[in-house]
Structure 1
Amino acid sequence: MRVLDMEVLVSEVVGRGTVLAGRYRVLSPVVSDLEGASAWEATDQILDRPVRVRILEHGAVAPALDAARRAALVTDARLVRVLDVGTHEGYGYVVSEQLVGQSLARLVAQGPLTADQARAVVGEAASALEIARRRGVHHLALRPSVLHVSPDGRVLLGGLALDAALLGDSGGDARSTTRADAVGLVRLLYAALTGLWPADPRAPQTPGGETLPPAPIVNGAPVAPADLVPGVPNDLDTLCVVTLGPNDDGPHSPGELVRELEPWGEIRTSAAETAALGGPVTAQFPPTGAAAPGGGVPVPSEHDDQDTAPVTVQRQSVRTAFAQQDPPGANRPGTPPPATPRRATGLGAVPSDAETPPTGQPAVAGPGVAQPAAPPPPVVPAVVRRPVAQAAPPPPEPAEEHLDAFGFGDVIGSQDVSTSTRRFDPTALILILVVIAVIVGVVFAFRALFSSLDPSGSSADPDPSPSASAPAVAGEPTPEQPAPEEPVAPVGGPPVIASTTSIDPSDADGEHEEDVAKAYDGDPATFWYTQTYKRDDFAGFKDAVGYVINLTQKTTVSTVTLRTNSNGGNVEIRATDASDPTGGPVLASGPFGPETVFTLDPATETQSLVLWITQLPTAADGAFRLEVTEIALS
């Protein structure tokens, strides 16, 4: 009853026509399979583009918003991008790009996918989650409703980190969360091969709209896909049985699953899906040579579901991809079409048949050429050309294409060669002048260098020795004996920070590595911060987090002043580096505060310090997170 009252209250706050943050206009609701969150189609009124809005009504709203912010840091074309996160009248919202195409649940509702199709769809999803894993972000709520295939054959995976936070799943340590995503991907592979969902018996079934029939369970494990659907390859069947079995076998990360599934082919959708996006989608691989008239989307045939065509590996260079997809003579994207040779007449050179005009001008048909059936182009002022001799012109030479200094092509016919050769090109002259200037500069630099090192240069002074009235001071260098280099004083003013980095024992990428410089940029409004956790012991993910301070030179450091937006926790300060963050004795330790001064005992001459954070403080919003605004050393 309380949930119903909450939904009624939310409908009064957010509904059709509501404008969030003065920018996103809510249009109509869409199906959402997570309790406590509703989904809406909306429009970004500033950029005039469709978006998808998730309204977080109740439950773990604050962790879900934080999870959406972390997901926004992961960039991959296969992951649904998070565009904005905020609150509206007490309710959180997450704005993401619009989901296109049908979900895996609707794809397999008409029948299981073929083995090659399933391998490609799940392989692309695994590749995307491996990129997210390396950024420290996991999904942890994989199900058929979040995996979509767009009409142009792209895989889109939504709900990264956000859905798990809404379900109250905070994961565990790095190994368990990575393994959970790998097993979830294999469950999607099982569903794609069989049309059945192998639910995890140890976890509750996620409620929602798009669900599949449950897979039969024997001895605590789903029945092998090959026993349910004929023609499942042995490697995919074994992968599903081993991973979903009672033992902790199979891939332990999305990257390991990618190696198990590759290679796979390109994903193709049917022509009917491309023409009408609202209809059902059937992902398929076209047989070799089966192309639609005019070079469009391949037309499906009655043999498309047999997977007899050889599969082209999708991972390839851009040059190889264009070489395979474009027929000889076809225009590549981003390049202008080749111009045809010009044809000379008694009135001058005129374009042949239909010469391509410059960008932004309509084509002008040649004399005697029939006009197309399309509406006539706007009138273009005639170009005055220089008349040529009345004698019969020689046959036109093939046009040659050469690039100018900016890389843009130009087509020159035989009648323009003389004009182009008479043009003055200052490039060579400029290069010669630059080379001469460089040579002169190098000569002067060498002369200055060797003149300062020449010991005979002191002969210019006729009497370099001190006067007889000034007695020599003991230890003072004589002209015959050069003065020894004085050692650099260990303390030459306050220590200067050269660079910083973060240490995450569970991930080589550190924690918010992109913001480490904000802790000493002199601006207290910016800060470096750790990830947000539910407990001050990093929720069991790790034992500590480090922040390494590298100085410009070896200097004696006596105090470290930390200004933060957090209170409590604990930090240990050591004179060590990133290679051994816990090496050496603890010079100072204690909790964080708005401004805390740590006195090193004893003052230490070092070039690097490590702030080893063993317990997280409490942030302003009540979560456990450290926010360091400024660091000062003395």
Structure 2
Amino acid sequence: MLAGRYRLDDLLSETGQGRFWRAHDQVLSRAVAIHVIDADDERAVGLMEAARASAQIVEPRLLRVLDIENDGRICYVVNEWGNGTSLDHLVAAEGPLPPRRAAWIVDEVAAALVNAHDHGVAHGRLNPENVLIDTTGSVRLIGFAVEAALYGLGSDRIGIDVVDLVGLLHFSLTGKWAGLSESGAPQAPREQHGPDVRILRPRQIRAGVPRVLDDLVDEVLNRPHGRHAGPNTAREIHEVLSAYVGDRSGLSDEMAQTSPVPVIGHKPRPAPEPEATVAGLPVFDDTADTSDRPADTSDADWFAPREDVPAPPPPLEPAPERPLFAPLPADGGPARRARPGAVSAAPPEPATDSASYWPFDATPEEAPVPGRRWLRLALALAGLLLIVVAGVVIAQQLHDGGPDQPGKGTSTSSSASASSRPSARPITGTTALDFDPFGTPPTENSDLTPLAVDGDPTTSWRTSTYRQNLGPGGIKSGVGLIVDLRKTHRVTAVRMAFAKAGSEVSLYVADAAPKSAADLGKPVATVTAQQANQVAIDPPATGRFVTVWLTSLPQVAGGYRAELAEVSVIGTAV
């Protein structure tokens, strides 16, 4: 995690130029690219300056610089993450591109360089690997100014950009790289002309390359042998390519459909609209005499207003009122009457208890079964007798259990010893030592250990801040704190207060303080700590030293750290 914000997900490359990560910005919830080098690297100053210069360029074709930082330990630059296909992969998968499509891609790169060069900023390492055709069909440049700084190149490389720009056109047309910057693409073939070496023109490698593109490549890459001075800036190259590409809306539909990525600016030719039928059009007669028509008629011959306007429909009659309850019978009889043929029951007796409110007929009581009452009484007496006999047997065993004086004093002595045993309480006068058997040196903020047993929850002992959590995959399997009880105690519980929940804690009780992790033995309890904890030791453990062993730490700003504000051991002296 960088700056408490960027989660490093995938290490994409690790070379002498530093480490390149795909990361996730947890604040804005988006993928980013991060270049990282050591803060004491001699390129760190140039990298920071290149990132600032790139961030000043307002250009949609650049993958923008989002953040830069040098915290004294590392120096890193955060860029936009681009999804798409780089130019070297595109040509490797499809072969050399059609001339007009190749010219359009390089023209997009040229337009971005014109904007940047006007501000005095160069890419510095323009090659097919740093040209991206993203998923929307747009051309984006990777590592603008930052890539050159990571390779220790200077910032004044505008002239190199011009040659590399034409090298991109040569590569798009032939699949061979002819620029000045390094690239993993196959190098363009060359031929010897006396003492000089000349790069083969695109038309010498591939048939069908238009003359205007072939001349542009040859005049820039083989300038001493060109018949004309040729373009000297990215703007001049942009003008040549724009004139060749022309109106982008003129791209054929077939070219746009066969392209593996969307073509920016392409507008398919609209299909011809079908002719309207005669039946679908109103008939107008501009030459007809309309002086005898009413003023509110239209010019359409087929339209004429009605002379007899129908009367409006009658209003709806209001719904009849309905009472909420049914009216009482007019003859004064009861509201509810028995159905014809039903047997009328005798009027009930006046209510004398709550059972009379039950609305249904009462169920007659079941006739008692002869002898059932005596059977229940006998079972109850047998159970009571069994309990009395068991109590007598237990009392006899307790009374006769003493080996020295059978039948005398054993129960009294046992109960007296139990009553005389002191109750468990917090043990006072304890001291604490840090325990870091895997550290070099083996210390873990030893000056803060007294704060964990001083009785003040506002002070705390804390571990170091780790960039990676503890555990089997971490730098250490654990760190901890040893509490010295000053003498042997029977430990029944341990109270702990943490500044933040989330620590994985194992508790150990021993007669001697551990010197290594192997000395810890078997834990008496293991918990995931909350901010306030009381961990019961069941069964109680006996010993002088209680070790609080942390095997996982909660996440904080900058890494992982635990803060133990207070630890108190509950038990009785042995």
TM-score bucket of the superposed structures, by smaller chain: 0.3 to 0.5
Q: Which has the larger radius of gyration?
A: 2
Normalised by the size of structure 2, how large is the TM-score?
A: 0.42
